[in-house]
């Protein structure tokens, strides 16, 4: 996990520089202003997350705003672009995504009247037990500042920036491809909702049976293998990554440039989800003996149709 975090931090510096170099088109003065303002919001939010996490001992502060900040950025870009039609459509898409994810996170007890409280992601407790951090709280504080707070908030900002890139084509009206992408985006949100609900139903029934002293729901496996989860090991992760790839595709429509600096966020998100899946599956393998065989049989993100 630590090595992965270091790799991600290095990547978040090098990848934007590379994409800027590959995309020679300069930003307009309006785009520079929007970039600076949204970047300041991101940096301020990062420091707030770090401070609250340190004061409360709960490192899931970024998790609570994961579904909120992209909506804020998208609507800021829409407002600053004088509600350009394409940017407005993108903001509406992000809002649909944000409402769904906020609901899914809230029902797990993540939000409280005292906003700094709530459920902490179980993985942070595992990270604290890493030999690199155990017995050395200052190292974990640095990890909290650089990776948990700064990196993740920067990522939230970056994968919303295609809305800013799309503003460069303010004079090109919406077309059928825009509406097709919006439909794909929404459809993927629906699929992700189904996957999360299936996981929610499975976990609740698993806990109910355990508390009632009944036989396990799925033999002794302990993890979901039905519904969308029988085709890929992480259907929710697969949908989430594809959602932001589709969001990036909005930037290609105006001038046909397949490579532009707006791709930075979705590429980093793909890397993060690979690392997150590695970490989660490592925990699952240690808890459930059958999970190793599950990995060999079921693909991670892309289903097999052959």
- 44-63, pLDDT tens digit by residue? 999 999 999 888 888 888 88
If phi over 0 gives left and psi between -120 and 50 gives alpha, with beta otherwise, what is residue 83?
left
For residue 235, the model assigns a pLDDT of 94
Among 57, 45, 67, 48, which residue's Cα sits nearest to residue 111? 67
For residue 215, the model assigns a pLDDT of 75
For residue 115, the model assigns a pLDDT of 67
Answer yes or no: is 36 within a domain: yes
Answer yes or no: is 292 within a domain: yes
For residue 71, the model assigns a pLDDT of 97
Answer yes or no: is 306 within a domain: no
- Mutual angle of helices 29-56 and 69-80, in 10-degree steps: 160
Tokens of 115: 């906003």
Answer yes or no: is 303 within a domain: no
- Structural domain containing residue 26: 2-297
Show the low-confidence residues of the chain (pLDDT under 50).
none
Answer yes or no: is 114 within a domain: yes
Answer yes or no: is 146 within a domain: yes
For residue 125, the model assigns a pLDDT of 73
Dihedrals phi, psi of 95, to nearest 5 degrees: -65, -45
For residue 1, the model assigns a pLDDT of 53
Answer yes or no: is 238 within a domain: yes
Tokens of 108: 């797990």
How far is residue 47's CA from residue 253's CA, in Å, rounded to a whole number? 36
**Total of domains in the chain:** 1
How far is residue 267's CA from residue 67's CA, in Å, rounded to a whole number? 19
Answer yes or no: is 302 within a domain: no
Q: Which residue bears the tokens 């046909």?
A: 256
Instruction: Name the CA radius of gyration of the chain, rounded.
Output: 20
For residue 23, the model assigns a pLDDT of 62
The pTM of the whole model exceeds 0.75: yes
């Amino acid at each position: 996990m630590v090595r992965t975090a270091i790799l991600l931090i290095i990547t978040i510096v090098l990848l934007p520089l590379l994409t800027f170099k590959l995309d020679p088109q300069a930003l307009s003065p309006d785009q520079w202003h929007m970039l600076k303002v949204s970047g300041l919001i991101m940096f301020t939010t990062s420091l707030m997350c770090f401070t609250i996490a340190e004061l409360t001992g709960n490192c899931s502060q970024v998790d609570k705003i994961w579904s909120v900040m992209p909506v804020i950025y998208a609507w800021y870009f829409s407002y600053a672009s004088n509600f350009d039609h394409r940017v407005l459509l993108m903001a509406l898409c992000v809002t649909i995504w944000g409402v769904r994810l906020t609901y899914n996170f809230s029902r797990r007890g993540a939000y409280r009247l005292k906003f700094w409280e709530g459920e902490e992601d179980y993985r942070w407790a595992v990270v604290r037990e890493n030999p690199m951090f155990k017995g050395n709280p200052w190292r974990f504080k640095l990890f909290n500042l650089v990776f948990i707070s700064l990196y993740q908030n920067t990522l939230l900002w970056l994968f919303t920036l295609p809305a800013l890139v799309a503003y460069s084509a303010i004079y090109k009206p919406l077309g059928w491809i825009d509406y097709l992408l919006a439909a794909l985006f929404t459809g993927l949100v629906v699929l992700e909702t189904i996957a999360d609900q299936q996981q929610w139903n499975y976990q609740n029934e698993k806990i109910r049976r355990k508390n009632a002293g009944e036989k396990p729901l799925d033999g002794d496996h302990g993890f979901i293998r039905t519904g969308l989860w029988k085709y890929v090991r992480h259907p929710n992760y697969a949908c989430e990554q594809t959602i932001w790839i589709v969001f990036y595709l909005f930037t290609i429509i105006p001038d046909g440039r397949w490579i532009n600096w707006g791709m930075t966020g979705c590429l980093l998100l793909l890397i993060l989800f690979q690392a997150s899946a590695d970490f989660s599956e490592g925990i699952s393998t240690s808890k459930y003996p059958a999970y190793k065989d599950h990995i060999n049989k079921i693909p991670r993100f892309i289903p097999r149709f052959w």
